[in-house]
Amino acid sequence: MNEHSGARARTVHQTARPHGFPTPDDFAFVESAVPEPAPGTALVENLYWSVDPYHREMMDGEFALNAPLEGRTIGRVTASRTPELAEGEIVFHRQGWRTHAVVTPEEVRRLPRFDGVPLSAYMSILGGTGLTAYVGLTRIARLQEGEDLFVSAAAGGVGTATGRLARAMGARRIVGSAGSPAKVAYLTEQVGYDAAFDYHAGPAVDLLAKAAPDGVDLYVDNVGGEQLEAAIEGLREFGRIVRIGTVAQYNAPQPLSAPRNLTEIVEKSLRMEGFHVRNYRDLQDELYDFVVPHLQSGRIGLDETIVDGFDQIVTAFLGMLRGANVGKMIIRATTAQP
């Protein structure tokens, strides 16, 4: 029995609003008949699913209860009633958290295939995760060769992509923080970070000062809170902060008390800017042009935690929120070819 055997489809629903960390009881797997594509649509069997920190944010209100959730996914067209989608085609769309989806041609994006690049890469460095890192570095920070940077949640999807891209773009010293000694070792041994620290090991301001004694030019902030405060302290004059996310906040019952040193933004003439990757979709081809040759040459490797089986999607999501992933957390159908 696999995701796509028999005549049943499965969908994950959110059934309750969590307080603090969500639990498996906040979700339900709902079975139904495999949907029939209406004229102008096609049936897709989903093969790869992305679970993301923003899903946790949506659980507080934007996800409707007891209804199918949304999420990024890649699937194969298995029945089509539109000439625009051929059976067998691989497509990207946003009807994730379910085994089967009925899509219109306008809802899907066709994925170009590059020699030697696996499909999972479209969920990690070639997908929204990599695009977020790319936009943060090129459009928000405007990274220059020879600059030094600090990245928080550095061992996650965006954090590993940021380290890999920054290195390929000519950054000098790259420092990261992550939640365990094993992740710290992964960053320096596999991803190409020059130094890294476990943010549980002491006050972030001290740990960063030790890892980057001469300061940094920019900070890529996936976390917020105490690490943002430490970065404000560690940035040089005219430094930049790219606000990507606030994962330290999403499961916290109270607002974060840090940063408490915003006056430094004036004193050191710092610039802090956030962005939403959805406003930069036009850079998708630019991302492929930059990253694919590096993937093919092996200069950039893939950082992915791949969990097999749609029935693991909730466990994988909850695990990601607690740091179970190294690189991008991806769920793969047991029917997918690696």
Ligand X SMILES: NC(=O)c1ccc[n+]([C@@H]2O[C@H](COP(=O)([O-])OP(=O)(O)OC[C@H]3O[C@@H](n4cnc5c(N)ncnc54)[C@H](OP(=O)(O)O)[C@@H]3O)[C@@H](O)[C@H]2O)c1
Q: Point out which residues bind ligand X (CB under 6 A).
A: 52-54, 129, 132, 153, 155-159, 178-180, 183, 222-223, 244-248, 275-277, 320, 323, 325, 328-329
Minimum CB–partner distance for residue 332 and ligand X (Å): 16
Alpha helices in the chain (DSSP H): 53-58, 128-135, 157-168, 181-186, 204-211, 225-234, 247-250, 263-267, 284-297, 313-321
Cβ–Cβ under 8 Å, residues 86 and 77:
yes
What is the amino acid identity at position 52? D
Distance CA 106, CA 67 (A): 22
Cβ–Cβ under 8 Å, residues 51 and 70:
no
Nearest CB to ligand X, comparing residues 77 and 316: 316
Minimum CB–partner distance for residue 88 and ligand X (Å): 30
Nearest Cα neighbor of 240 from 213, 273, 263, 209 is 273
CB-facing half-sphere around the CA of 67: CA atoms within 13 A: 8
Cβ–Cβ under 8 Å, residues 102 and 42:
yes
Nearest CB to ligand X, comparing residues 197 and 288: 197
Minimum CB–partner distance for residue 173 and ligand X (Å): 20
Minimum CB–partner distance for residue 208 and ligand X (Å): 13
Minimum CB–partner distance for residue 225 and ligand X (Å): 7
Distance CA 176, CA 222 (A): 11
Instruction: Compute CA 239 distance to the chain's CA centroid, rounded to the nearest angstrom.
Output: 25
Nearest CB to ligand X, comparing residues 187 and 333: 187
Pairing of β 328-332 and β 304-308: parallel
Nearest CB to ligand X, comparing residues 211 and 320: 320
**What pairs with residue 178 in β-bridges?**
198
Q: Residue 304 in 3-state DSSP?
A: strand
Nearest CB to ligand X, comparing residues 180 and 335: 180
Nearest Cα neighbor of 35 from 101, 104, 105, 103 is 101
Nearest CB to ligand X, comparing residues 179 and 309: 179
Minimum CB–partner distance for residue 275 and ligand X (Å): 6
Structure tokens at 140: 């928000």
Minimum CB–partner distance for residue 77 and ligand X (Å): 27
Nearest CB to ligand X, comparing residues 120 and 132: 132
Minimum CB–partner distance for residue 159 and ligand X (Å): 5
Distance CA 176, CA 155 (A): 8
Minimum CB–partner distance for residue 200 and ligand X (Å): 8
In sequence order, the 6+-apart residues with CB closer than 8 A to the CB of 154 are 160, 162, 163, 176, 177, 178, 183, 187, 191, 193, 196, 222
In sequence order, the 6+-apart residues with CB closer than 8 A to the CB of 338 are 118, 120, 332
Nearest CB to ligand X, comparing residues 71 and 156: 156
Nearest CB to ligand X, comparing residues 80 and 124: 124
Pairing of β 27-33 and β 100-103: unpaired
